[in-house]
């Protein structure tokens, strides 16, 4: 069976994406599901959070360097997990246009 992919996305930093992704992944893993958190944020907050406690129940992988290739990396992992939760970065700030 192929994993269900859940992307936690928001246009703004500090909106609680990592908190939501980690809580969701933790609950699913505690219910016996195989869960991977794909930490796509360069700040790697999910990775640091998972390593800070007694042992986070889901796998967490640093995929922040996979810009544009995240889907290819995760496609290889679909059969290994029941759920893949993506903690996405905020979009890059765009430079203002100069006339």
Describe the strand order of the beta sheet including 83-87 as a list of residue ranges.
Answer: 4-8, 83-87, 35-39, 59-62
- pLDDT, one tens digit per residue, over 45-62 is 999 988 887 889 999 999
Task: Check if CATH label 3.40.50.300 holds for domain 4-87.
Answer: yes
pLDDT of residue 95: 43
- Please list, in sequence order, all residues whose beta carbon lies within 8 angstroms of the beta carbon of residue 86, skipping any fewer than 6 positions away: 5, 6, 7, 8, 9, 21, 37, 38, 40, 70, 74
pLDDT of residue 62: 93
- pLDDT, one tens digit per residue, over 83-95 is 999 998 877 643 4
Mean pLDDT across the chain: 87
pTM: 0.85
Are the C-beta atoms of residues 6 and 82 closer than 8 Å to each other?
no
Residue 34 host element (H or E): none
Give the integer Cα–Cα distance in Å for 92 and 99.
21
- pLDDT, one tens digit per residue, over 1-45 is 699 999 998 887 788 899 999 999 999 999 999 999 999 988 899
């Amino acid at each position: 069976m192929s994993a269900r992919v859940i992307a936690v996305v928001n246009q703004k930093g500090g909106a609680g994406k990592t908190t939501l992704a980690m809580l969701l992944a933790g609950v699913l893993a505690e219910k016996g599901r195989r869960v991977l958190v794909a930490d796509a944020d360069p700040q790697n907050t999910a990775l640091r959070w998972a390593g800070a406690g007694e042992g986070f129940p889901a796998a967490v992988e640093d995929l922040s360097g996979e810009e544009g290739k995240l889907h290819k990396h995760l496609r290889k992992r679909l059969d290994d997990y029941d759920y893949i939760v993506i903690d996405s970065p905020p979009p890059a700030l765009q430079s203002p246009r100069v006339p």
